[in-house]
Structure 1
């Protein structure tokens, strides 16, 4: 029988998915969020524009978002039939490799159907759907328009007993809880809260990238994508900038251009178009030139650094408290990993709670360490290979980057290698899968072409 009360701080995707998992273990789950939250989903973006409204707390919601195959698997597990419902409502759907054009280091990877579904949506629309499903669950309460002031602990400071909140229309109060989950994202104050309780805060790892997303919506004829639902052109060593075209619900598309270390796309039409023409491959620029814009001007979102807090290395941690999502590790968003990793973490939290007894937070952090290690390695390794990024430059890193350079070239023509790479980037297989003998023979046995 479910008992107790869990409080989730943060109502974005990490918080929503965590709340859904917690409903299987607690009688009551309360979500606390600074923004006011709508809990309805009509399934028709044209009928209810609120489903595409960007919340103040999610400024990146105006830009291209991806849900990796691992993340969509989580959504389906937590909300059976979700992918079909979203597709029926007009979210473009296809195969994760057969209908997603992915380009890496100047090479377009070979596309073949692999039987894994992909969806292309706006972040607000997906979040609106998940929010409606979570809010409809018995025992779920929502405290929108509420600031989070901190956490409360018992006199011995051994256990977190609740969260201090401040509704904008009322007096400050404390929500008593058996478990408090910090899902507040990159702005998490958990390290400071731990210090205030006398605990050692986690070590912090950062890789500075100074990334900027610049995005604009367009009326894109789907025929221009030749059956694809998304095009992603990643940066190359010669041109460390990229772009994406994502078809979305409601018959429109978002086009996002991204660059690092100050190489950011302009907001004006002429500058935006000129920047796109200098991407490693012409696919994004071609669609911009053939499509009318729906926005007066582009919008920008800046992301300074990938950041990881090493909660997995802490020896002491208060009972009744845990951290998930970007509050634990925030990845460079151009790899599209954040929502998917948060979803898998939520499932692992449910497994930890399902073992019975009280949640052992240090054990949970160690359990999710490999879940974070893999996308962290992919993101920081990919960034470190770009000129100007101050990442590792040891012999092993140089060797891996040379191998990946050959792998991209091989994947442009070899569907076996392209499939292996797609499974890794979709967080279905570990990066070591790319070094398996069958893949390595194909990569190392092929002479790298002089040009893409």
Structure 2
């Protein structure tokens, strides 16, 4: 195999290139943006100015694809810490119990993370990262994609094309042009509006914790997160569903924090020194394209990242899932439908976590099944018990960090702990 093209120099696209370079003599990443030469925000990643979570599994896989990446980021100021002993998790209004979990988190800005990945990938043998090259169409011959057409009018042939172009992916449209059925689309409308401010960070703030997460509840569909970043900064992002996000002036921003299900974030904002300019963002929906359910699909074309499944960003799943999808490109079988069926196993658990969590909130539009109702009822009791049981808190972290499958929260041992810790009796549910 000679040449693979990746559309999009996103984290999903760059990690895909890191995997493909082990199999192809040449890999070309093409992006419509002018890519920054330093660590900076770029137009195509509007959400980059807000807090980004890198889950433990995502960091682990990134280090597999680009050995030494974590150490390089830490050398540039990123912070590492145990995700249970150095982080404060507040779910259903309950602060989870502390202990050493063995799960190591990395707190880093999107710009530093993407910039370092881009530097590493650009230096790989046979890999080129090209900017200012919008893709207009696919080249195809006899049921096989054989390259892309560029806005300049130039064709770029390839043995494999991977679409990592994000939420604006044109693959469904291109499939129609080539005479194929478009994939079914699952959509959960959230109308999530959020705002972000940065603050100077002092060592004693949050008692030395590196992460604070206050999750929304059914009664208060608002949440927030504070992450320690390189450069002695806090990045604080707060969000509200059904269009009820925070205003950006500091006084109103702090007032929004005061309405969250726990006071911790408001306490931080009222003592920390604000820096930089605030910014806002809007995510209308979580969207998943069901390519694995198609009966026909052109050879030589794959889809990854937000182009196949765009999560509610408040859960911090996207980058880590993209890393797992990139790792799946190492499999010898890159026929499209088998590939899509393999990564369905990667997508199902985080998708169920996000959709199930959001559908308990007022104003979210989607199918609230009896199964989701039962799971949410159980998790409310689970979080109450996890406030007193560090093992339950660790179990939840392992699931939310994609290390374990959701059924581990329903093991006989976990059920017994939930009952024993004073929570109302929980109904068993299939997760």
| Residues 388 and 421 in structure 2, CA contact (< 8 A), matched pair in contact too | no
- Which of the numbers 341, 348, 362 marks the counterpart of 2:337? 362
Superposed CA RMSD: 1.2
**Distance in 2 of aligned mates of 1:349 and 1:81:** 20
Q: Using a 3 Å threshold, how does the CA distance of structure 1 residues 289 and 204 change in structure 2: closer, same or farther?
A: same
Corresponding residue number in structure 1 for 2:146: 161
Residue 60 of structure 1 aligns with which residue? 47
2:429 corresponds to: none
SS in 1 for 2:134: strand
SS for the counterpart of 2:276 is: coil
In structure 1, C-alpha distance between the alignment counterparts of 2:145 and 2:369, rounded to whole Å: 42
Deviating above 4 A after TM superposition, structure 1's stretches of 4 or more consecutive aligned residues are none
Residue 7 of structure 2 is matched in structure 1 by 9
TM-score (norm 2): 0.96
Aligned to 1:200: 181
Other-structure match for 2:229: 248
Equivalence for 1:174: 155
Q: Distance in 2 between matches of 1:334 and 1:109?
A: 19
**Is the CA contact 1:220–1:287 (under 8 Å) kept in the aligned structure 2?**
no
CA distance in 1, matches of 2:304, 2:340: 9
Tell me what 1:23 maps to: 21
Deviation of 1:68 after TM superposition, in Å, equals 0.5
> Does the 8 Å CA contact 2:18/2:66 hold for their aligned counterparts?
no
Shift of 1:208: 0.2
Pairing 1:93-104 to 2, within 5 Å after superposition? 93-104=80-91
What's the TM-score once normalised by structure 1's chain length? 0.92
- Which residues of 2 match residues 82-97 of structure 1 at below 5 A? 82-97=69-84
- Residue 397 in 1 paired to residue 401 in 2? no
The C-alpha deviation readout for 1:150-179, integer Å capped at 9, x for no partner, is 11101x3x000101112xxxx321110000
Alignment of 1:10-159 (within 5 A): 10-38=8-36, 50-51=38-39, 53-154=40-141, 156=142, 158-159=143-144
Shift of residue 116, structure 1, vs aligned partner: 2.1
* Counterpart in the other structure of 1:217: 198
Distance 2:410 2:244 in 1: 33
1:303 aligned partner: 283
State the shift of 1:430 in Å: 1.1
Give the match for residue 191 of structure 1: 172
Provide the residue aligned with 2:356 in structure 1: 381
Offset at residue 387 of structure 1 (A): 2.0
Q: What is the CA–CA distance in structure 1 between the aligned matches of 2:349 and 2:101, rounded to whole Å?
A: 22
Provide the residue aligned with 1:434 in structure 2.
Answer: 409
Tell me by how many angstroms 1:271 deviates: 1.1
Which ranges in structure 2 are unaligned for 5 or more consecutive residues? 425-431
Aligned residues: 424
In the TM superposition, what whole-angstrom CA distance separates every residue of 1:332-356 from its partner, at most 9, and x where no partner exists? 01110000001001111211xx25x
Determine if the alignment matches structure 1 residue 285 to structure 2 residue 266: yes
Q: Distance in 2 between matches of 1:241 and 1:118?
A: 24
Distance 1:33 1:107 in 2: 43
Q: Answer yes or no: is the 8 Å Cα contact 2:12–2:322 preserved in 1.
A: yes
Matches within 5 A, 1:252-331: 252-296=233-277, 298-331=278-311
Tell me, in whole angstroms, the C-alpha distance in 2 between the residues paired with 1:246 and 1:441: 33
1:270 match: secondary structure: helix
Cα deviation, residue 38, structure 1: 4.2
Conservation of the 8 A alpha-carbon contact between 2:187 and 2:366: no
CA distance in 2, matches of 1:149, 1:319: 19
1:390 Cα deviation after fit: 2.6
Cα displacement (A) at 1:20: 0.4
* Structure 1, unpaired ranges of 5+: 40-49
1:46 matched residue in structure 2 = none
SS of residue matched to 1:56: coil
Alignment partners' CA distance in 2, 1:77 and 1:84: 13
Report how far residue 82 of structure 1 moved: 1.6
Q: CA deviation at 1:17?
A: 0.2
> How far apart, in 1, do the equivalents of 2:203 and 2:289 lie?
41
Tell me the equivalent position of 1:236.
217
